[in-house]
Amino acid sequence: MADKYLRNLSSGSGSPNCEKTILLAHPSMFQLARKVIDAAKRHQCNEVFEFIEDGVKWRSFKDGFPDLFIENVKNIMNKKVFILASFHNPAVIFEQLSLMYAIPRYLAKSVTIILPYFPTGTMERVDHEGQIATAKTLASLLSAIPLTSCGPAQILLFDIHALQERFYFSEQVIPRLETAVPLLTKEIIQLQKLEPVAIAFPDEGADKRFRPWVESLSSVSVVICTKVRQGAQRVVKIKEGEPGQKHVIIVDDLVQSGGTIIECTKVLLAEGALKVSAFVTHAVFPGGSWKQFITADEPAVKIENFWITDSIPHANEISNSPPFKILSINDLIVDNCLR
């Protein structure tokens, strides 16, 4: 029933002569894939998107290794193929890489990998001898995707942790680095009808990266936080800006333990912020650390709104609990795929 529903959705967009685009997805990303199809229909795109949930059989042998099979494999010949992937867990990376390597060999016209979250991004450099920059390792694995008749595979990434990681990929693939932060713009416009709004960056790096977006907004001030060493501890201080009498929104690319957001929130409230909200593109939250923000259970700090995207599968579960809210990247994916 699901594949029939999605075929019907896609058949309404475009003209009979437009180029067909095949969308494949890892099961963990099926929910986002359906949103992408709906977004493509809303955009009235010039291409017909076809997504069939059973297009790939994601099976395993008894020893746990992948036993994959592409249904109707001739259907992808001379077609543009998009693969919506998620590397949220090391256990699922190998099976998805296997599919990525196989699709060009089955004569796909072109291949675009939609990998919203690049999980090893925070391990991008070696500060001490003996460390391993696993961001380079993962980029090398993705760089081995074979060429198609139209050239290199494209890899669409959102808010990679360090922009210089684009240079970890070989010339055999084309990394496309995009941002999901502008999804917050609409929310800010609504909040400004009620109270003054400021954007807070937890460090100078976030400020440099996202400042152009803030400058495109009207009547939004900026607060920059930084960590300073006090004895054996590193504490959060406000380096620049005035949070007083404003609804301050902390903006960053990802959150893990949540410790930085908690400390920033405490400082902002102590300096007179009316309210504090937060936005992160990637809600990593290992070990269920997001639960400390749930308002129903004595939260670590009071967060008014905690916006996250669905770049990681478990974000959908997290968004069921206030103050978390999903801002879906579906429209961004369609916009970027149709360029």
How is the chain split into domains, by residue range?
2-115+117-177, 182-328
Query: How far apart (Å, rounded) are the C-alpha atoms in residues 180 and 309?
Result: 8
Averaged pLDDT for residues 292-303 = 81
Cβ neighbours for 201, distance < 8 A, ≥ 6 positions apart:
207, 210, 222, 223, 224, 225, 250, 251, 252
Which CATH number applies to 182-328?
3.40.50.2020
The two structure tokens encoding residue 313? 């599968």
**SS3 assignment, position 161:** coil
Mean pLDDT, the chain, whole residue set: 90
Beta-strand runs (E) in 191-312: 197-201, 220-230, 233-240, 247-255, 275-283, 306-308
Instruction: Tell me how crowded residue 20 is: count the other CB atoms within 10 A of its CB.
Output: 15
- Reply yes or no on whether the pLDDT at 41 is more than 60: yes
- Reply yes or no on whether the pLDDT at 295 is more than 90: no
pLDDT tens track for 256-273 = 999 999 999 999 999 999
**SS3 assignment, position 33:** helix
Please give the pLDDT value at position 168. 97
Averaged pLDDT for residues 213-227 = 93
The phi and psi torsions of 247 (rounded to 5 degrees) equal -85, 110
8 Å CB contact between 35 and 330: yes
- Reply yes or no on whether the pLDDT at 95 is more than 80: yes
- Check: pTM over 0.85? Answer yes or no: yes
The two structure tokens encoding residue 134? 């696993």
Please give the pLDDT value at position 49. 73
Query: How far apart (Å, rounded) are the C-alpha atoms in residues 237 and 224?
Result: 9
pLDDT tens track for 126-146 = 999 999 999 999 999 999 999
Provide the pLDDT confidence category of residue 46 given band limits of 50, 70 and 90: low
For residue 94, the number of C-alpha atoms closer than 13 Å in the C-beta half-sphere is 8
| Architecture field, domain 2-115+117-177 | 3-Layer(aba) Sandwich (3.40)
- Reply yes or no on whether the pLDDT at 282 is more than 60: yes
- Reply yes or no on whether the pLDDT at 200 is more than 50: yes
Dihedral over Cα of 191, 197, 201, 207: its sign = positive
Say whether 182-328 and 2-115+117-177 share the same fold.
Answer: yes
Averaged pLDDT for residues 105-114 = 96
